[in-house]
């Protein structure tokens, strides 16, 4: 199986020894406490779950600047997006060397992690704008990721952490949330050595289904990891529970047995386009995947990124030796009326746009909200049924 990123052994920061963990929980109750924002909490979960291997905690301002500017940590490790604990108020922890990090997404904000403070750095407005521009390619607050990042505060609390739990993800998604070590273990149990990862924050329609099958065949992999984001999204995106149900139905009915593993990870979507696509590749390598599908508008939002900018970024701006995982670059995929099957558009040069069944996301949502299933060439009827129920309930609410 592929090695983790930046190390020979995966190093999740979750304290797995129950005795040690209980002692830390008791210690956390007595420590000065910082209630995290959702973005910093998601970073803690990803560190705890091994997806951000080999990082040992939150980055300093100098490290964050290095990563944003050069996609390298200060010791030369490839890393595409800063992993930071940014806050707007450090008064409760001023002068402390060790603190409890409280979870904003769980009732009563229980401790999520314990952090050793190596320092607290302050970002100027100019430094914040530079970070944002380098990460997202824009400083426009019409970009939801930019608006969120700029709202977090100006203080960077850096240092190593020990993670006590995986926030709400294990409780809310017990059949889906998986850590990187758990995914690697299941691959081994299934006898999978080479695995294609498919990232999704949306329901999967026919084009996504067939893309996974195409990638599986083209790479000769043993299976596909359908790996869905379970954290916070922008308004209007389909909630994780609905996506999970729809994807499971599709896999059950339309994939051969033991060719797909469904799992989820606890991260908030940043919509950072190319940089986030590179981060997705990092944590899929840590999860043991050998190949990663990068398609049209990967991790993008609105018109902020070109349709295949993420692919171009990974192919031409990420150093060739930075990652072991291989990128499967996918074209826009749609049902061909001429051929009677889903194809990548680049493989059908004799087609016009009218020869494909293509619907915009807005059009699909409108149809589902009216209780009208999209064409079977676009969406499996069993998937459409689950989504129709959700969108109609949204209207009635």
Chain segment 303-321, per-residue pLDDT in tens: 999 989 999 999 999 998 9
What are the tokens at 307? Answer: 């349709």
Closest Cα partner for 56 from 44, 68, 65, 67? 44
The owner of tokens 């603190």 is 99
* pLDDT value, residue 395: 65
Contact between 46 and 267 under an 8 Å Cβ cutoff? The reply is yes
Contact between 240 and 262 under an 8 Å Cβ cutoff? The reply is no
247-256, 261-270, 327-336: least confident range:
327-336
Whether the pLDDT of residue 353 is over 90: the answer is no
* pLDDT value, residue 217: 94
**333 vs 186, higher pLDDT:** 186
Instruction: Give the global pTM.
Output: 0.93
Q: How confident is the model at residue 186 (pLDDT cuts 50, 70, 90)?
A: very high
Between CA 390 and CA 368 the distance in angstroms is: 9
Provide the 8-state DSSP code for 334.
E
- Using only C-alpha atoms, what is the Rg of the chain? 21
201 catalytically annotated:
yes
* Average pLDDT rounded to a whole number, residues 6-33: 97
Closest Cα partner for 323 from 63, 1, 2, 9? 2
* pLDDT value, residue 202: 84
202 catalytically annotated:
yes
* Average pLDDT rounded to a whole number, residues 223-249: 89
* Average pLDDT rounded to a whole number, residues 5-26: 97
C-alpha torsion angle, residues 273, 274, 276, 278 (rounded to 10): 160
Over residues 76-125, the pLDDT tens digits come to 999 999 999 999 999 999 999 999 999 999 999 999 999 999 999 999 99
CA distances from 211 to 1, 170, 234, 296, 316 (A): 23, 29, 25, 11, 23
| CA 387 to chain CA mean position, Å | 22
Closest Cα partner for 203 from 396, 388, 4, 9? 388
Contact between 314 and 322 under an 8 Å Cβ cutoff? The reply is no
Residue 63, SS3? Answer: helix
* pLDDT value, residue 359: 76
* Average pLDDT rounded to a whole number, residues 228-233: 89
Whether the pLDDT of residue 371 is over 60: the answer is yes
Q: What is the torsional sign of CA 223, 221, 276, 254?
A: negative
Between CA 235 and CA 213 the distance in angstroms is: 30
Most confident of 87-91, 239-243, 295-299, 334-338: 87-91
Q: Mind spelling out the 3-state secondary structure of 91-111? A: HHHCCCCEEEEECCCCCCCCE
The matching CATH number, chosen from 3.40.50.1260, 3.40.50.620, 3.90.25.10, 3.30.420.40, for 175-265+271-396 is: 3.40.50.620
Percent of the chain clearing pLDDT 90 (strictly above): 75
| CA 336 to chain CA mean position, Å | 30
Please report how many Cα atoms fall inside a 13 Å half-sphere around the Cα of residue 297, on the Cβ side.
11
* pLDDT value, residue 296: 87
* Average pLDDT rounded to a whole number, residues 141-166: 97
What kind and span of H or E run contains 356? strand 356-357
What are the tokens at 335? Answer: 């049902």
Between CA 156 and CA 81 the distance in angstroms is: 15
Percentages (nearest 5) of helix, strand, coil residues in the chain: 40, 20, 45
Residues listed for the chain: 397
CATH code 3.10.400.10 region(s) in the chain: 18-167
Provide the 8-state DSSP code for 278.
H
pLDDT, mean over the chain: 93
Beta strands 98-102 and 33-35 are: parallel
* Topology of domain 18-167, CATH: Sulfate adenylyltransferase (3.10.400)
Q: Which residue among the candidates 201, 275, 296, 380 is catalytic per the annotation?
A: 201
Q: How confident is the model at residue 215 (pLDDT cuts 50, 70, 90)?
A: very high
Over residues 21-52, the pLDDT tens digits come to 999 999 999 999 999 999 999 999 999 999 99
What are the tokens at 111? Answer: 């401790």
Whether the pLDDT of residue 397 is over 60: the answer is no
CATH code 3.40.50.620 region(s) in the chain: 175-265+271-396
* pLDDT value, residue 62: 98
Residues 84, 89, 92, CA angle at the centre, nearest 5°?
Answer: 105
* pLDDT value, residue 326: 96
Q: Which residue among the candidates 154, 202, 248, 249 is catalytic per the annotation?
A: 202
Between CA 151 and CA 147 the distance in angstroms is: 6
């Amino acid at each position: 199986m592929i090695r983790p990123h930046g190390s020979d052994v995966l190093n999740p920061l979750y304290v797995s020894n129950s005795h040690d963990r209980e002692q830390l929980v008791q210690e956390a109750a007595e420590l000065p406490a910082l209630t995290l924002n959702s973005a910093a909490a998601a970073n803690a979960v990803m560190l705890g779950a091994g997806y951000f291997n080999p990082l040992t905690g939150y980055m300093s301002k100098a490290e964050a600047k290095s990563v944003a500017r050069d996609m390298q940590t200060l010791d030369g490790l490839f890393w595409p997006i800063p992993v930071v604990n940014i806050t707007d108020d450090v008064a409760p922890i001023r002068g402390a060397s060790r603190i409890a990090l409280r979870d904003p997404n769980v009732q009563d904000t229980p401790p999520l992690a314990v952090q050793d403070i190596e320092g607290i750095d302050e970002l100027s407005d100019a430094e914040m704008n530079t970070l944002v521009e380098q990460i997202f390619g824009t400083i426009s607050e019409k970009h939801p990721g930019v608006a969120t990042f700029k709202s977090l505060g100006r203080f960077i609390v850096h240092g190593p952490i020990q993670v006590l739990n995986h926030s709400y993800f294990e409780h809310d998604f017990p059949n889906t949330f998986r850590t990187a070590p758990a995914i690697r273990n299941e691959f081994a149990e299934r006898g999978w050595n080479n695995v294609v990862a498919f990232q999704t924050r949306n329901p999967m329609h026919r084009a996504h289904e067939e893309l996974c099958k195409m990638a599986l065949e083209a790479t000769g992999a043993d299976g596909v990891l359908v790996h869905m984001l379970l954290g916070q999204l922008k308004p209007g995106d389909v909630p994780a529970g609905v996506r999970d149900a729809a994807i499971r139905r599709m896999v059950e009915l339309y994939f051969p047995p033991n060719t797909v593993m469904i799992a989820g990870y606890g991260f908030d979507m940043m919509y950072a386009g190319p940089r986030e696509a590179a981060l997705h590749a990092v944590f899929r390598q840590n999860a043991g995947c050998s190949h990663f599908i990068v398609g049209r508008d990967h991790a993008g939002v609105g018109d902020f990124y070109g349709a295949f900018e993420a692919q171009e970024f990974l192919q031409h701006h990420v150093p060739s030796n930075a990652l072991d995982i291989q990128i499967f670059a996918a074209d826009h995929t749609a049902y061909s009326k001429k051929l009677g099957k889903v194809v990548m558009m680049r493989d059908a040069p004799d087609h016009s746009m009218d020869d494909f069944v293509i619907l915009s996301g807005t059009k699909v949502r409108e149809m589902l909200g009216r209780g009208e299933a999209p064409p079977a060439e676009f969406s499996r009827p069993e998937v459409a049924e689950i989504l129709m129920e959700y969108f109609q309930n949204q209207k009635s609410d």
